[in-house]
Each structure stands twice: as C-alpha cells, then as structure tokens.
Amino acid sequence: MSTPRRLSLTKPTPPEKMFVSLEQQLANVRRWNEEREWGLLQGELAAVDLTPREHDDPLVVDLVAVYLDSTRQLDGVRRTCHELWRLATEQQPHAWSFDWEWDEWKENPKPVRLLDGIEHRPGVRRVTVDLGAHWEPGRHIRPRNVRSTRSAHAEVLAAAAHFPDWVRAMDGRSVPYIWLSGYHLTIPERSDHRLPGLAWVRYRRTMSLTANWADHSGSGWASPVLVA
C-alpha cells in the first residue's frame, strides 16, 4: 500500500525544531522505563537502530515507540495508551482527556482497543510515522474513509511524549490536529464509530484527547500512518 499523496505546495511550512533526535528519544525511554517500571529489557533498548535518515516531508519522523505488556489491571493496549498519555501530559502546562472520569474516579482508564487487523506486540521499536497523512488544508475527510491496518495509535502518543513542541504547534493549518485512527473507543459500548483525537487548544494552552466520531468529517485533521 503506497503512502497517501499530499499536496505539499498548498501547505504552509511547519515550524522547525519540533522533533528531537533518536538518541534523545531513546534516553527518554530509558528514563521512563526505570521511573515507571515498564520492564523493558536493556538488550531491547540497546538494539534500537539510531541511524539517522532523511525524509522529504517535514511531518514524517522517526520515532522510538514502546508497546507495553498487560498487567492485572489493564491489557497491553490500554496500558500503553494510558502510560504514554500520562507522560505526554507531563510535558504540557495543561491537559484534558475524554476519559478523565473513568481514570480519576473509576480507576479504569483509556477504554480503547486496536482497529481490527492491527497486532499489539510488546517491546520497543524504531518506527517511521507520517504525522500529516491524509491531510490537505481546507479539504474535509472522514476518519472512517482513511483507516487501515497501517493507521497509527500508540505511536501518536509516543510522539506527543517525545515532541511537546509538535503538539503546541498544532493549528490545523501548518501542523494538523490528529486522529488516532488505529484505535476504537469502547465506551459507552464496544463500537467502531468513535476514536480519539489529539489537539492543542491554543487559548487554553491545553493538550486535549477527545472522543471523535469516525463518520464526521473535518478539515485541519490528519490520520497518521506507519510508513516503516
């Protein structure tokens, strides 16, 4: 499956220096692994490929992503989502999530599952993510129409944790807001119709993780995909 074509000539240039190096990302993961007791093995961490690569598109980025094992409380998909969101919130002045009530009061956070056909494989891996996939300024798209087994999920939250400046640059014009199309939400019931969306609310200086409808169209939004 080819990478979605995007009309770069119609897009404003995004800010520079939104992303950090793979070396810095791996240092982040080593620190988080120790602080949050993820259980990632040192051999896994040492095996991550840190060779720099050039990409023609400024929104295509190499990423050190983590995928966690299950615990008694949460399966691996939900645990990964919960942990990475928490780390991302620590990098921002304010944050809000659609599941705050479930998280804070019911101790049952991040009601998500993966899109059918996407496999959760615990570990740490270098991946390449197109954070602007399917986005064309001014064009309305529906998440349902662009979802696939290459749709990003935990990788977007890893990017938010590693790249706080990228989140703060989101404006829907030079840097799109993000649908996490590799996830389905499972509240209020198991459904294929809802998915998370990540956005920066500028006037509140808040990073928001919202519950969006897969059938509703919007402009200024991307549906990131894994390209490697």
Tens digits of pLDDT across the chain (228 residues): 444 544 444 678 999 999 999 999 999 999 999 999 999 999 999 999 999 999 999 999 999 999 999 999 999 999 999 999 999 999 999 999 998 876 665 677 999 999 999 999 999 999 999 999 999 988 999 999 999 999 999 999 999 999 999 999 999 999 999 999 999 999 766 567 899 999 999 999 999 999 999 999 999 999 999 998
Q: How many CB atoms lie within 10 A of CB 116?
A: 9
Contact criterion met (CB below 8 Å) for 180 and 129: no
Residue 169: strand, helix, or coil: helix
CA 136, distance to chain mean position in Å, is 19
Q: How would you classify the pairing of strands 225-226 and 123-130?
A: antiparallel
Q: How many CB atoms lie within 10 A of CB 136?
A: 19
Distance separating alpha carbons of residues 209 and 80, to the nearest angstrom: 15
pLDDT confidence of residue 189: 65
pLDDT confidence of residue 6: 46
Beta bridge pairs of residue 200: 207
pTM check: above 0.85: yes
Residue 111: strand, helix, or coil: coil
pLDDT confidence of residue 12: 86
- For residue 143, give the H/E element and its range: helix 143-146
Contact criterion met (CB below 8 Å) for 189 and 77: no
